[in-house]
C-alpha cells in the first residue's frame, strides 16, 4: 500500500473521513507491520498536527473511519461518540435469511477472556447495554444482505449481534465459521454534527464484497 490520501471520502479543517481498506488495522500491534497510524503523515494536508483516530474499525472491516485533524477537533468528536450522537450504518452479508424484514437487537455484551482461547465478546445479562437496528436489503441462496445501525458502540457489536440473530457474517472467523472467505462487513456510512455543520460520508462496496452483495440484489448504486 502506497498511502491512504486517495481514499479520503470527506475532508474539512476539523475531520477526515477515510475509506479504510479491509485487512488494514487501525493501530499497530505485535504482529502488525502496518496500520492506519503508519500512514497518518500522508494525511496532514497542510496542518502541522498529525490526525488522530476518533474511533476504530476491526482490521477486516472496510469503510468509513473518522480522523480528527487537531486536538480541539479530537475532543469535540470524542464527545459526540461518547454521547452516541454519531450515526453509523453498516452493510453485511450473512448466512441465513431473517424471518422479518427489520428489527432491533437488544442484547448486552460482555468481554470474555481465557488463556486458551484469548478474548471475544459474548451476549450476557451482566454485560454493557447494546442495541442494534437492522433491516434486510436483499436475499438469495440462503444469504442475506443486511443493513445495521448500531445505537451503542460496543466492541464487535455488529458481528456478535448478527450471530445472536442466528445470522453470522460470511467470513467471520470468530463469531461465524470463517468459511475461508474474507469477512463481509462494510462501515457503509457515517454522519455527525460538528457545531451547526453536518459531516457525512458514504463508502463504496469494496471489491471483495461486491460479488456477495450482487448475489443478494446489489446493483452497484
Whole-number CA gyration radius for the chain: 17
Do residues 148 and 188 lie in contact, with contact meaning Cβ atoms separated by under 8 Å? Answer: no
Q: Which of 12, 19, 42, 58 is catalytic?
A: 58
Pull the grid cell for residue 93.
452479508
Q: The domain that contains 35 carries what CATH number?
A: 3.30.2350.10
pLDDT of residue 109: 98
What does the alpha-carbon distance between residue 155 and residue 132 come to, in Å, rounded to a whole number?
13
- Tally the domains of the chain: 1
Q: Say if 141 falls within a structural domain.
A: yes
Q: Say if 171 falls within a structural domain.
A: yes
**Could you count the other beta carbons within 10 Å of the beta carbon of residue 51?**
26
What does the alpha-carbon distance between residue 88 and residue 94 come to, in Å, rounded to a whole number?
19
- Select the more confidently predicted residue: 1 or 79: 79
What does the alpha-carbon distance between residue 197 and residue 37 come to, in Å, rounded to a whole number?
27
Do residues 169 and 93 lie in contact, with contact meaning Cβ atoms separated by under 8 Å? Answer: yes
The model's pTM is 0.94
pLDDT of residue 180: 83
The answer to whether residue 179 is catalytic is no
What does the alpha-carbon distance between residue 25 and residue 93 come to, in Å, rounded to a whole number?
21
Q: Say if 220 falls within a structural domain.
A: no
Pairing of strands 102-106, 185-194: unpaired
Q: pLDDT by residue (tens digit) across 195-206?
A: 888 899 999 999
Mean pLDDT of the chain: 93
pLDDT at 1 over 60: no
Work out the average pLDDT over 8-22. Answer: 96
Q: Say if 221 falls within a structural domain.
A: no
Do residues 73 and 192 lie in contact, with contact meaning Cβ atoms separated by under 8 Å? Answer: no
Domain that includes residue 190, residue range: 5-215
Q: pLDDT by residue (tens digit) across 45-95?
A: 999 999 999 999 999 999 999 999 999 999 999 999 988 889 999 999 999
Work out the average pLDDT over 87-114. Answer: 96
Amino acid at each position: 500500500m502506497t498511502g491512504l490520501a486517495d481514499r479520503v471520502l470527506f475532508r474539512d479543517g476539523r475531520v477526515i473521513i477515510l475509506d479504510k481498506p479491509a485487512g488494514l488495522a487501525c493501530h499497530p500491534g505485535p504482529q502488525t507491520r502496518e496500520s492506519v497510524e503508519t500512514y497518518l503523515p500522508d494525511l496532514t494536508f497542510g496542518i502541522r498536527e498529525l490526525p488522530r483516530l476518533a474511533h476504530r474499525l476491526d482490521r477486516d472491516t472496510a469503510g468509513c473511519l473518522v480522523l480528527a485533524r487537531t486536538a480541539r477537533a479530537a475532543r469535540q468528536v470524542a464527545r459526540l461518540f461518547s454521547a452516541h450522537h454519531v450515526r453509523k450504518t453498516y452493510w453485511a452479508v450473512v448466512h441465513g435469511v431473517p424471518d422479518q424484514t427489520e428489527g432491533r437487537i437488544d442484547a448486552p455484551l460482555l468481554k470474555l477472556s481465557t488463556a486458551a482461547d484469548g478474548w471475544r465478546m459474548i451476549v450476557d445479562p451482566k454485560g454493557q447495554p447494546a442495541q442494534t437496528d437492522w433491516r434486510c436489503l436483499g436475499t438469495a441462496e440462503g444469504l442475506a444482505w443486511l443493513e445495521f445501525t448500531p445505537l451503542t458502540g460496543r466492541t464487535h457489536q455488529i458481528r456478535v449481534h448478527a450471530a445472536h440473530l442466528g445470522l453470522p457474517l460470511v467470513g467471520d472467523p470468530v463469531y461465524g465459521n470463517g468459511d475461508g472467505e474474507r469477512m463481509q462487513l462494510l462501515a457503509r456510512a457515517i454522519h455527525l454534527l460538528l457545531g451547526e455543520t453536518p459531516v457525512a460520508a458514504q463508502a463504496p462496496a469494496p471489491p471483495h464484497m461486491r460479488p456477495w452483495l450482487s448475489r443478494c440484489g446489489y446493483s452497484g448504486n
